[in-house]
Amino acid sequence: MELHNLRPAKGSNKKNKRIGRGQGSGRGGTSTRGHKGAKSRSGYSRKRNFEGGQMPLQMRLPKRGFKNPNRVDYIPLNLGRLQEISEKYNVTEITPEVLFEKGIIKRRDLVKVLGNGELSAKLAVSAHACSASAKQAIEALGGSLTTL
């Protein structure tokens, strides 16, 4: 076997269908598209949810509810979680930047501190929002809580 006598395996290569090249090609006339209808026309592309003219599913189902465009979503952080973070990463100042560096939140996430769990470390916490019980618990230990 040498480079000049290499051939693909028998039957592995098929010839292209040459469509629309006249009657002699065996694929003239309708060019394998059948007769009439949208699929036979040029420029045809089926819409994503098209169901052949039947009423599409998203139009058959009832509309329901309301999505508030002004909703603000916070990532909740309980006092117990703050205690874990301060012990694990050995930090006394907890800010969104620190939480992002440690991979706890994403860059644009908003953080809300909640009062569930036990806190024993004195922490300086910066967050976008906090509950009254969380603020009271942090300040009781001599820490500080600033809202951004």
What pLDDT, on a 0 to 100 scale, did the predictor assign at position 52? Answer: 87
What pLDDT, on a 0 to 100 scale, did the predictor assign at position 123? Answer: 87
CA-CA distance, 46 to 39, in Å (whole number)? 8
What pLDDT, on a 0 to 100 scale, did the predictor assign at position 119? Answer: 86
CA-CA distance, 58 to 10, in Å (whole number)? 49
- Surface-to-core class of residue 113, CB atoms within 10 Å of its CB (0-12 exposed, 13-18 middle, 19+ buried): buried
User: Has this prediction a pTM greater than 0.75?
Assistant: no
For 127, the 3-state DSSP assignment is: strand
Q: Which is it for the CA torsion 22, 26, 31, 34, positive or negative?
A: positive
> Could you give the percent of the chain with pLDDT greater than 70?
100
Residue 91, pLDDT above cutoff 90: no
CA-CA distance, 87 to 118, in Å (whole number)? 13
What pLDDT, on a 0 to 100 scale, did the predictor assign at position 75? Answer: 92
The answer to whether the CB of 71 falls within 8 A of the CB of 65 is no
Residue owning tokens 């806190």: 119
Residue 120, pLDDT above cutoff 90: no
What pLDDT, on a 0 to 100 scale, did the predictor assign at position 117? Answer: 87
Please state which CATH number belongs to domain 74-147.
3.100.10.10
What pLDDT, on a 0 to 100 scale, did the predictor assign at position 2? Answer: 93
pLDDT in tens, 29-61: 999 999 998 889 999 998 888 898 899 999 999
Residue 106: CB partners within 8 Å, gap ≥ 6? 100
